[in-house]
Amino acid sequence: MGTSQSSNGPKGGVHMVPAWTPAPPAEDPPSGDQPPDAPPDPAPDLNPPEQEPVDAAPNKPVAPNVPPPAAPLAPGHRFAGTRRSLGEFAKAGNLSDMRRSLGNYVRNGYGGSRTTTSRFGGTASTASALGGILETMGQQPAGSALDPALLAGRTANEVMDAVVEAVRPVDGTQDAEAERTAIKDSLSDLLVKYPDADLAALTPEQREFAIERFTAMDVARRFELDVGKTIIEKAPTATVALSRLKQVRDYIKQTVAASFRKLRAAGKSVNSNRIAAVVRDALRDTFQVFEGYAE
């Protein structure tokens, strides 16, 4: 379940958001039925004029059924700035170079925080699936892959692998590879933070931690798949390269965690009905932070 750090990353001339990427959840409607400053609705007309029959004006133009616009095409050398800054970070370890690489990754590699959030629509979708599985682990039907009777006596590693298979089966894409690894890593981190946690009966706090950590690790894995080879090539030694990769992962985890804290402070907590929407908002906030580092 390792990450393909030897990948050269996506090229220019392809859609920034591949066709197979799930769309992020729809934006939440504004609170209330109308904007705060909108004038009150007029009193209803008790004698409204008769409506024109639908077929009374056959020559009236009909609005065409226009399909949604396709994702923008990526320019050539889309990650050149990212790799340049990441190479400097790999050699010297300066935090400013790492931040600049993340900024260029979002702004130039994916066309800004909005498109980057769309590119990570699969992260929000998989996070929702992960939350659903973790919430119902103890009630899975008999004979299923997560049947509590079948998992009884299994090691924690075997249970985590079963969860990975249930949440994100292999489909041949790098997205699936990254998400599967991120699920396993998030559950491993969960058991480190909560040594007594029972994966079949997690508390809401523990499930929220797993979802938050999955989100962070999936962003980190995608970043490594796209441009991580630069760190491997530019670091002075293999040991330094691994250390630099860990620094990037930790920095992404910290930024994602801060975004989730901001959402919780605003009253947007992760629950079974809003996981995808909250993850989308956390991703967007994270990518806005990263984009601010671009030069």
Alpha-carbon gap, residue 266 to 261, rounded angstroms: 9
Lowest mean pLDDT among 9-23, 80-94, 121-135: 9-23
Lowest mean pLDDT among 28-32, 121-125, 274-278: 28-32
**Predicted pLDDT of residue 222:** 95
**Predicted pLDDT of residue 98:** 98
**Predicted pLDDT of residue 151:** 87
In the predicted structure, residue 262 carries a pLDDT above the cut 70: yes
In the predicted structure, residue 65 carries a pLDDT above the cut 60: no
Q: What is the DSSP string of 124-189?
A: HHHHHHHHHHHHSGGGPPTTSTT-HHHHTT--HHHHHHHHHHHHS---SSHHHHHHHHHHHHHHHH
**Predicted pLDDT of residue 227:** 96
Lowest mean pLDDT among 44-53, 164-173, 267-276: 44-53
In the predicted structure, residue 56 carries a pLDDT above the cut 50: no
Q: What are 247's two structure tokens?
A: 């620094």
Closest CA to 9 of 185, 236, 178, 133: 178
| pLDDT tens digits along 82-129 | 999 999 999 999 999 999 999 999 999 999 999 999 999 999 999 999
> Per the confidence metrics, is the pTM higher than 0.75?
yes
Q: What is the DSSP string of 176-223?
A: HHHHHHHHHHHHHHHHHHSTT--TTS--HHHHHHHHHHHHHHHHHHHH
In this prediction, residues 257-280 reach a mean pLDDT of: 91
Question: Confidence band (pLDDT; 50, 70, 90) for 42?
Answer: very low
**Predicted pLDDT of residue 9:** 57
**Predicted pLDDT of residue 28:** 58
In the predicted structure, residue 3 carries a pLDDT above the cut 70: no
Torsion sign across C-alpha atoms 59, 65, 69, 70: negative
Alpha-carbon gap, residue 156 to 143, rounded angstroms: 19
Question: Confidence band (pLDDT; 50, 70, 90) for 131?
Answer: very high
**Predicted pLDDT of residue 20:** 61
Give the relative orientation of helices 95-104 and 80-92 as an angle to the nearest 10 degrees.
Answer: 160
**Predicted pLDDT of residue 63:** 43
| pLDDT tens digits along 164-194 | 999 999 998 889 999 999 999 999 999 999 9
* Mean pLDDT of the residues in the chain: 83
**Predicted pLDDT of residue 77:** 75
Q: What share of the chain has pLDDT > 70, as a percent?
A: 75
**Predicted pLDDT of residue 29:** 53
| pLDDT tens digits along 216-239 | 999 999 999 999 999 999 999 999
